[in-house]
Amino acid sequence: MKAFSSTSPSLIGDACLALANLAATKGLGPAAVCEKGGLTALIAAAHAHGATEPKVREWSAAALANLASVTGTPDVHESILEGGGAGAAVMLLKACDLTSEREGGLRCARFCLGLWAHLGREPDGSEECVSCGFVHAAVKVLLDAPPQVPAAAALASEACRAFATLAFGAAEGKAALRESGARRALTAACDKYPTEPELQQMARALLSEF
């Protein structure tokens, strides 16, 4: 990734996929990605090529989400937060094209929101995600996502899980959701995906908190 960072974005995307696979394994894989320079390379790749190269956008987001999903290894989450992983995920989320890329763009957005949903379970992670602008970016994604598309419904469900880390927590979290327009986004999600019972249940539970 260091050797080809400026000359071959597509190859960097493949490297991000390799790291995403390693980050998804049990055992030493996730810690190795963080400790051996993989996390730093992922974040650098996201900032360098995430806005223009779909492969980098999707697979760097997947790798970050896989790392964030690791349980029982606090050092991995600390590495993501200290290395700027949350900010990189927000940037990737804003760059996702939910129309022309179709499945790829929706998957990428879901990975980004998955990172928030995992990191947001801890106070430090929740605070960092909010300060990076995740709430406003997620609201926009919910409003822009196409209706009646299964992958978009799954994305909306992931957004609900991310919102839940704030809605059922401290008053500051609920205020952040209200101020960002989350009520309108959740109402739109209910209207767009009327045949998704799990999504309907989550969205309406969140709305009741407002």
| Amino acid 171: pLDDT | 85
Provide the residue-wise pLDDT of the chain in tens; the chain has 210 residues.
988 888 899 999 999 999 999 999 888 899 999 999 999 999 999 999 999 999 999 999 999 999 999 987 778 999 999 999 999 999 999 999 887 656 789 999 999 999 999 999 898 999 999 999 999 999 999 999 999 888 899 999 999 999 999 998 888 888 999 999 999 999 999 999 999 999 999 999 999 987
28: three-class secondary structure by DSSP = coil
Question: What tokens were used for 153?
Answer: 């419904």
- Rounded to the nearest 10°, the torsion over CA 18, 20, 25, 27 is 90
Q: Is the pTM of this model over 0.75?
A: yes
pLDDT reported for residue 128 = 93
> Which two three-digit tokens encode residue 197?
């019972």
Query: 66 Cβ partners below 8 Å, 6+ apart?
Result: 20, 23, 24, 30
Residue 4 makes CB contacts below 8 A (sequence gap 6+) with 11, 12
pLDDT at 100: 63
* pLDDT given at position 48: 94
Secondary-structure percent of the chain, ordered helix, strand, coil, rounded to 5: 75, 0, 25
Q: Rounded distance, CA 14 to CA 59, Å?
A: 8
Q: What pLDDT does 73 receive?
A: 76
Neighbours of 5 (CB within 10 A): 16
Q: Which domains does the chain have, with CATH numbers?
A: 9-209 (1.25.10.10)
What is the CA 176 to chain-centroid distance, rounded?
18
pLDDT at 178: 92
Could you give the 3-state DSSP secondary structure of residue 102?
A: coil
CB of 61 closer than 8 Å to CB of 111: yes
**Helices 134-144 and 150-167: crossing angle, nearest 10°?**
150
Q: What pLDDT sits at residue 95?
A: 94
Q: Which residue has the tokens 């908190």?
A: 209
For residue 90 the two structure tokens come to 């927000």
